[in-house]
Amino acid sequence: MGAYARTSEDKALSADAADWREIGEQVAEQFKDMDELASELGVTITRRYNDNDTPASDPHVVRKGFESMLADLENGTVRGILFYHSDRLVRQEYDAARMNRLFQLNPKYVGRAVAGGTDLSTQEGRSMLALQATMGGMEVYNTKRRVARKNKGLAGHGHMHGAPRPFGWAEDRKTLHETEAEDLRTAILAIPGGLTVGEVRKQWIDLGYEPTRNRKNAGTQSIQHSAVESRLVSPRVCGYRTYLPQAERRGTKRPWMPDFIVYKDGKPVMGDWEAIVSPEEWQACVTTIEERKQARKEGRAVHTTSAKYLLSGIARCGKCSFPLMSNQYSKGTTSYERYGYRYACLTTLGGCGGVTRVGPPVDELVEEAFLLEVRRSLGTGGKDEDFDDTKYNVRLAELDQEISEVNERRRAKRISMGAALDMIEELEGERDELNRQRRQLVAVKVHRQNASPTLLEEWDGYAVAQKKTRLRESVRAVMVHPAGRGRKFDPSLIEVVWIDAGR
C-alpha cells in the first residue's frame, strides 16, 4: 500500500503570513492521518510518496512522488494508495484520467482519502475525481488570469517581485531589506513612546509603501491599518518562529500573530533570519498596542491622544473617574501667564465637569513621586518573583497536552468534530490569554531591569513623550480629587495609583 502526501505554496497568503508555513509539517500531518486510516482499514503502508511544496495544477511541473506512485501502481509494487484529500492527489484532468485508468484496470486496488470520502475502487469515486479535477482546473485558470492581469499593472509601477517576502526582509527572506527594515524598526521603537499605528500608516503611505503585492487589493488601495499593525506585531521581527494552524487561516480577520509563537520547553523557538529588533523591544510594542485595543474596547480614553502634556490620558477625575483632558488657558489671562495649561474633566466629552486643576504643579508632583518610587525599587534590589514569567509554563504545557488529547479522541471517533472544536477553541482561548499575560510580564520585567538605573540620570533630558512612556510602566492612573473653595494647590488631593504587575 502506498501513501501520497503533497503541499503547495499557498499563493493567497500574504508575505507576513509566509511564516505560517512550516515546511514539511503539513506533509507530516497528512502522513499521520493516513497511518490512522491504514490501521482502520487493516492495510499496511509500505511506500510513501512525498511531493512537499509541489503544485499539482501546473502542467509544466513534474511531480516526482506522483509519477513514481503511478509507476508502482502500474507494475503492482503497491496495490493501492491512501491520500489526504482528492485535491492533494490530482488537480488536472489528465492526471485524474491516468489515476482512474489504473483503478479501472485493477478493481481490487484500494484508493481511499482521509478527508472528503473519495473511494477510487468505485466508478462513482472515479467520476468524482475526474469532475473535481475539471472544476479545479477552471478555478486555477481563473486565478491565473486574475494574477496575470494584476502583475501586468504592477510591473509598470516597478513593484514586480517574485515570491512573496515578508516586509522588512530581502528576497532571500533572511537578510534585512535596506530601507524597509530600518523604517519598520523605527516604527516599532516609537510605538511605546506614543506613536499610533494610524500615524505609522500615514508615514508608510508617504514613503510609498503599498499593500503586500499578492493580496487581492494590491496596487489598487493604500495599505490597510490592519496590515500595518500586523507588520509591527509580527513575532518574526525579533526572530521568533510562528506557526498558524490551518483552521486559523480561513477566517476573514487577520490572526493576531503574537499568539502563535512556537514554544519549545517554554521558550520561543528562534528562526534563522536576521532580527529587526530585540524580543524586549518587540514585546514593548505588542504590549502597548494590546493595551490600547483593550482601552478602546472598554471605552477608556486611549492614552496616546496627546504626547504634549505629561498626564493627559493618565490623570482622571477623582469624582467621576473620567480621563482629564489637558487644555491651555486663554491667552492673556493670569492663569495662562502663570501655568499655561490645566487638566479638566469636561462635560462636553462626557465627564462630570467637577474637577479642574492647574497643570504644571500636578506634573511636578507626579514626576517626583515616580522618581522616588524608582529609587525605592532600585534600593530594595527589585522583586523578581513578582514578575516571574515562567509561572504559566506548567499550565501552558497542560493545555497543549489537553488539546492533543481532544484531537486523539476526535481521530478515534469517540467524539464528534463539532464537540472537539468546541473544546479546542475553549482550550486555545485560555492558552492565548496566558501567552498574552506572559508577554506582558516579560515586558514589565525587562523595563524594571533595564530602564531603572539609567532612568534617573536621563530623566531630565527626556521629551514629554518619553517621560510619559516610562510613567506608564509604573503608573496606572493619577486621580485628581475635587478641591474645596481654597485656591491654593493641595498636593494631598493628587493620588497616584501604581501598577501592581504580577501580584
Q: 158: how many CB neighbours lie within 10 A of its CB?
A: 7
Residue 319 makes contact with Zn ion by CB under 5 A: yes
Least Å from the CB of residue 172 to Zn ion: 57
**DSSP class of 209:** -
Q: Shortest CA distance to 319 belongs to which of 355, 362, 343?
A: 355
Q: Which stretch binds Zn ion (CB under 5 A): 206-214, 297-305, 313-321, 481-489?
A: 313-321
Residue 493 makes contact with Zn ion by CB under 5 A: no
Least Å from the CB of residue 490 to Zn ion: 17
Least Å from the CB of residue 298 to Zn ion: 17
Which is nearer to Zn ion, 289 or 355 (by Cβ)?
355
User: Which runs of E-coded beta strand occur in 95-210?
Assistant: 110-113
Q: Shortest CA distance to 497 belongs to which of 346, 364, 318?
A: 318
Rounded Cα distance between 144 and 437, Å, is 44
Rounded Cα distance between 304 and 191, Å, is 10
Q: Which residues contact 105 (CB under 8 A, 6 or more apart)?
A: none
Which is nearer to Zn ion, 273 or 322 (by Cβ)?
322
Planar angle of CA 265, 269, 271, nearest 5 degrees:
165
Residue 351 makes contact with Zn ion by CB under 5 A: yes
Which is nearer to Zn ion, 106 or 356 (by Cβ)?
356
How many chain residues touch Zn ion (CB under 5 A)? 8
The position carrying cell 515570491 is 163
Least Å from the CB of residue 353 to Zn ion: 6
Q: Which stretch binds Zn ion (CB under 5 A): 82-90, 237-245, 317-325, 456-464?
A: 317-325
Which is nearer to Zn ion, 249 or 319 (by Cβ)?
319
Residue of this chain nearest to Zn ion (CB atom): 317
- Reduced to 3 states (helix: H, G, I; strand: E, B; else coil), residue 477 is strand
Cell for 484?
474645596
Residue 320 makes contact with Zn ion by CB under 5 A: yes
Residue 352 makes contact with Zn ion by CB under 5 A: yes
Q: Which of 314, 317, 366, 399 binds Zn ion (CB under 5 A)?
A: 317
Residue 354 makes contact with Zn ion by CB under 5 A: yes
Which is nearer to Zn ion, 130 or 352 (by Cβ)?
352
Q: Report the b/e string of 374-400 with b at 16+ CB within 10 A.
A: beeeeeeeeeeeebebeebbeebeebe
Rounded Cα distance between 389 and 442, Å, is 6
Residue 271 makes contact with Zn ion by CB under 5 A: no
Residues paired with 49 in a beta bridge: 4
Least Å from the CB of residue 351 to Zn ion: 4
Which is nearer to Zn ion, 167 or 322 (by Cβ)?
322
Helices and strands of the chain, counted as H and E runs? 16, 12
Which is nearer to Zn ion, 214 or 326 (by Cβ)?
326
Least Å from the CB of residue 316 to Zn ion: 8
Q: Pattern 81-100, binding to Zn ion, x per CB under 5 A?
A: --------------------
Q: Pattern 326-345, binding to Zn ion, x per CB under 5 A?
A: -------------------x
Which is nearer to Zn ion, 354 or 502 (by Cβ)?
354
Can you give 365-390 as a three-state secondary structure string? Answer: HHHHHHHHHHHHHHHCCCCHHHHCHH
Least Å from the CB of residue 482 to Zn ion: 8
* Contact positions vs Zn ion (CB under 5 A): 317, 319-320, 322, 345, 351-352, 354
